[in-house]
Amino acid sequence: MKKEIRTRYAPSPTGKLHLGGARTALFNYLYAKNQKGKFILRIEDTDLKRNQEEGAKNQLDGLKWLGIAPDISYEKEDQFGPYFQSKRLNIYQKYIDYLLENKLAYKCYCTKEELEESANKQRSKGIKLVKYNRKCYDNPSIKKDIKPVIRLFVEDNLKLSWDDLVRGKIEVPSSSFDDFIIVKSDGMPTYNFANVIDDHLMQISDVFRGEEHISNTAKQLYLYKLFNWNPPRFAHLTIITNKDKKKLSKRDETVFQFIENYQTLGYLPEAVFNFLSLLGWSPQTEQEIFTKEQLINIFNLNGFSRAPSQFNLEKLKWTNNYYIKKLSPHKLKEFLIPFIDQKDLLIIKDNLDNILLLFQDQLREGNEIKDLIKIFTIFPTWKDLDYKFSKKDLDLIKDFANKIKIIKFNHLEIEKLLKDLSIEFKVKGRELMRPLRLAITGNEKGPSLIKIIEIYGVKKIELIIKGFFKDEIHNR
């Protein structure tokens, strides 16, 4: 029987879900789902100083928002849990004891100063790859006041290689690293150690993670060898860059870094899902829009890009606009209401559905609605307009105001009125619409003027036109 595919996203709980982390999680998710396997969230919280109280929750919430809730996590464990590394210390201990007993690992009491001194000595001899000098392996000097670390004894004649799913064969000699630490002086296992034990015990079949882990993979393979375990397959994803082709770093101010930022700005999870899936992976077609189900179906291991993937905000906005346009009126309302100020909501509540529909096609971020709807909540002003109304414009506006009162107030009739005015005043298109729009909304741009007029209603139009003629603008 084919072994079940199990993938995992294994963040440290140091903050919110980052774009890069989300993409890593997404590829793990897509592959697991494509293979009808399991997607797992494991929290790697052994670096006590860096842990944040809400870190694990932030990560899980981010995944849920994105629509990739794990099958297994600290909320929903299986027989291989717990899924917090800090709750697995007794499990690691067994393997540490084994390594110590078999002299495959040893305690190291060297102080920082001793380590520095040895490193300096090596540098002065021209050695570039500074390594631990194994003092405590050969001749441990136990110091009572020092809590030792545990180092792995690394033989330096081995070749560690794997067929990377993104980059093909990678080979790293064990001589390129030293007796690395597997347990820190606070008793916590290091990332490289706990990661191997867990991936093995949790029966992880495939690991998709960032390329910054390539050097760790070699160390981890050393451990797999020692324990005689089959390692999972590895895929090291290329970096994400900003528009200047620099690696996205958490301090980069040109790009919002966290999934939560996109939620707050009004991105739909479907859009972010679609966009991130194509960041470093491609279905090898021109198609840009895919549903989640389609992506799960077509996801395969041949589509990874070997070049860095550039984060293109314009494309994300375009994708988001596509998904916003697809929302049903009900979903649109649910999505947009949180972005609108309470007092504005009260003003427009009777026309809310129509107003939101009016802007639906143009929205690229949900939060844009906040300002757009102001044309329905704020009485227009004309003082900032850079337009000189001609005598003909003003006559046109007056005539419009007189006639709008007497027509049957509906879309068709308003349309007809505008046509009549166009004939009467011998003006077409922009020449007709521009002065009217400016007088009615105080704005150059906006959605369909007829729809705005319909939503305003006769009374408001009358008030506005009165206001307009009271204003000095038309005399300038």
Q: Which residues are annotated as a binding site?
A: 108, 110, 136, 138, 250
The strand ranges marked E within 358-448 are none
Cα–Cα distance between 199 and 86 in angstroms, integer? 15
Cα–Cα distance between 348 and 376 in angstroms, integer? 7
Stretch of residues binding ligand GLU (CB under 6 A), selected from 4-12, 99-107, 138-146, 267-275: 4-12
Instruction: Report the nearest approach of ligand GLU to the CB of residue 35 (Å).
Output: 18
Instruction: Report the nearest approach of ligand GLU to the CB of residue 216 (Å).
Output: 7
- Please, which residues bridge with residue 152 across strands? 105
Does 277 engage in binding with ligand GLU (CB under 6 A)? no
Does 73 engage in binding with ligand GLU (CB under 6 A)? no
The only residue of 195, 257, 319, 441 in contact with ligand GLU, by rule CB under 6 A = 195
Interface map 133-172 toward ligand GLU (x if CB under 6 A): ----------------------------------------
Options 147, 246, 250, 349, the catalytic residue? 250
Which of the residues 22 through 51 are near ligand GLU (CB under 6 A)?
A: 44
Cα–Cα distance between 216 and 221 in angstroms, integer? 9
Of 57 and 317, CB closest to ligand GLU:
57
Instruction: Report the nearest approach of ligand GLU to the CB of residue 42 (Å).
Output: 8
Instruction: Report the nearest approach of ligand GLU to the CB of residue 185 (Å).
Output: 20
Cα–Cα distance between 54 and 302 in angstroms, integer? 37
Stretch of residues binding ligand GLU (CB under 6 A), selected from 8-16, 177-185, 269-277, 369-377: 8-16
Does 209 engage in binding with ligand GLU (CB under 6 A)? yes
Provide the 10 A C-beta neighbour count for residue 155: 11
Greatest distance between any 2 Cα atoms in the chain = 104
Of 10 and 436, CB closest to ligand GLU:
10
Q: Are 46 and 194 in contact (CB under 8 A)?
A: yes
The dihedrals phi and psi of 249, each to the nearest 5 degrees, come to: -120, 160
**Which amino acids are annotated as binding site for Zn(2+), given as ranges?**
108, 110, 136, 138
Of 32 and 271, CB closest to ligand GLU:
32
The only residue of 16, 23, 151, 213 in contact with ligand GLU, by rule CB under 6 A = 213
Of 267, 355, 248, whose CA–CA distance to 311 is shortest? 248
Does 10 engage in binding with ligand GLU (CB under 6 A)? yes
Burial (CB < 10 A; 0-12, 13-18, 19+), residue 307, is: exposed
Cα–Cα distance between 133 and 142 in angstroms, integer? 16
To the query of whether residue 2 is one of the catalytic residues in this protein, the response is: no
Cα–Cα distance between 22 and 63 in angstroms, integer? 7
The only residue of 6, 7, 12, 296 in contact with ligand GLU, by rule CB under 6 A = 12
Does 11 engage in binding with ligand GLU (CB under 6 A)? yes
Instruction: Report the nearest approach of ligand GLU to the CB of residue 219 (Å).
Output: 11
**Which amino acids are annotated as binding site for ATP, given as ranges?**
250
Helix spans in 55-129 (H): 55-66, 89-101, 112-124
Of 84 and 137, CB closest to ligand GLU:
84
The strand ranges marked E within 184-239 are 206-210, 233-237
Stretch of residues binding ligand GLU (CB under 6 A), selected from 10-18, 132-140, 243-251, 312-320: 10-18
Burial (CB < 10 A; 0-12, 13-18, 19+), residue 100, is: middle
Our separate counts of H helices and E strands in the chain read: 19, 11
Catalytic positions are 250
Q: Footprint of ligand GLU on this chain (CB under 6 A)?
A: 10-12, 44, 191, 195, 209, 213
